[in-house]
Amino acid sequence: MFFISDRYLKSLALIFSDRPPLKLIGDFFSFNFTANYNLAFSLPLKEPLLSVLVISVILCLGFCVLYLINKKTEQTIIIFLTLILLGALSNIFDRLTYGYVIDYWELKYFTVFNLADIMITGGAGVLIIKNLKHK
């Protein structure tokens, strides 16, 4: 559901890329197409190293998910790793198709991001918190 929603919002961002930002919450939060040629939070890492790194991480995540499913690991871990994997797949699809990631939600004074970024960050955050609680 999140993956499909992200793909839909990215297509809308492309369609409306020539229009002014759509203000969702005043000037603070808007829907605005931005081509992100860098890593998360616009960290500078250029092609082709960027795509090689991201594809390697996606492959590792995919193998981890399959391994954990096979070992009948706790569902929560599998769900959040899959959420990270799907977010990464959506972003790498953009990078390989367009040469950049389509970002569309803009927070004033912070960054421009997309639902896939939330899937990746949220999934990683939950797994980190879950791991810290078990120590």
Percentage above 90 pLDDT, the chain:
75
Distance CA 120, CA 69 (A): 19
| Active-site amino acid positions | 103, 117
Distance CA 120, CA 117 (A): 5
pTM: 0.88
DSSP calls for 55-93: HHHHHHHHHHHHHHHHTT--HHHHHHHHHHHHHHHHHHH
pLDDT digits (tens, 9 = 90+) for 21-61: 999 999 999 999 999 988 776 677 777 888 888 899 999 99
Measured in whole angstroms, the distance separating CA 6 from the mean position of its chain's CA atoms is 9
- pLDDT tens, residue by residue, 91-109: 999 999 999 999 999 999 8
Per-residue pLDDT tens for 52-63?
888 999 999 999
Question: What is the spatial distance between Cα 94 and Cα 33, in angstroms, rounded to a whole number?
Answer: 13
CA distance 95 to 75: 30
